[in-house]
Structure 1
């Protein structure tokens, strides 16, 4: 394994690509719906198009709000974020029936980087169940000492490839691509916030556990 060498410009570019990947699908669906409205006079098709536009607009908005907290500045340095706000944007990511979502956490202000870590771990948890299932989030403790437990359960659940190495900032080639940037970034945020992250799997359930070091 080699330590990943990534300058700030490349990190920004890869994170932007990650956000665009999540938003481009619903935005494309909105464009398709508008094209149907322009070209088709059939009442049923126009109704379908309006439903598609409405659903996709909500999805795009939810993903952007999530990205704002998970990747954005979200206030000045040292700012705190209400866990209730984190819950709201997290729930917005689960609007379809593919994955059920549950959240258990105190309504407290947590340091910005710890909330960013929690949200990024939820995104990683989604990739652990590519065929859908359920995700549960549990937060215990307070702003000084806390623990996050995120469980992904579903058919063919698996720990994302090279997770431990990427969390530690390592890879076989010493580089990271758009597929691995999420976990690499989570490792950066974990170290910045004084927390550890570990993965485990038991049957069809993957557990991500993060705690103050």
Structure 2
């Protein structure tokens, strides 16, 4: 009798690239839209000076947010150099901190040595940060630790919990027909871990959400 268990489904390269592009657009469309709205207020001759000053502050804040998200996405999802490139973990940490700081309610504690690592490993670690953030929707602290052969991103916060759809993506049990721009991220992280010969997990460790790869 043939094995009745379904084979692990995989996205095609075209579907994966399309969904990742959608994810990046989703991340930057909000601050870019806010910039456009702020500029409209500034250009409106009927707006009072106080309103224009507020709009200018909104533009400045949105520019910082858009820049932080684009820099993060460039490494987490993009090529960020040649195929065999290495990336400085310290630089990646600064980019990750700038990205997380725009979340306002989250602090990132980046405990990784300042050393060059293969690009795919750094991309995986940044994607693990995104997964950890999803476990603390009310805010908190994400602690990243890099040890020999093991990466962890621990998320501690009020009512931290496992995002069940993400867990299903990692387990390969989610119907890929339902995969969207949000859930393509843990799928991509799983593929990065697979390419690096690592196993990616997302579990509860006490009251914290633990994302680990080893």
The Cα shift of 1:117 comes to 0.3
Q: Which runs of 5+ in 1 are unaligned?
A: none
Q: Deviations over 1:26-70 (max 9, x none)?
A: 111101111110124311111111111001001101100001101
Matches of 2:211 and 2:175, distance apart in 1: 25
Higher relative contact order (CA 8 A, sep 6+): 1
Distance change >3 Å, CA 114–CA 47, structure 1 → 2: same
The Cα shift of 1:122 comes to 0.5
- What residue number does 1:57 align with? 63
The Cα shift of 1:203 comes to 4.8
Matches of 2:28 and 2:169, distance apart in 1: 24
Q: Which runs of 5+ in 2 are unaligned?
A: 1-5
Matches of 1:163 and 1:38, distance apart in 2: 43
After TM superposition, the structure 1 = structure 2 runs for residues 7-26 of structure 1, keeping only pairs within 5 Å, are 7-26=12-31
The Cα shift of 1:171 comes to 2.9
**65, 83, 92: which one aligns with 1:86:** 92
Distance change >3 Å, CA 50–CA 19, structure 1 → 2: same
Q: Check conservation: 1:59, 1:95, Cα contact below 8 A.
A: no
- What residue number does 1:101 align with? 108
**180, 193, 196: which one aligns with 1:193:** 196
The Cα shift of 1:164 comes to 4.0
The Cα shift of 1:5 comes to 3.5
- What residue number does 1:125 align with? 132
The Cα shift of 1:94 comes to 2.1
Structure number with higher strand proportion: 1
**150, 158, 178: which one aligns with 1:155:** 158
The Cα shift of 1:81 comes to 0.7
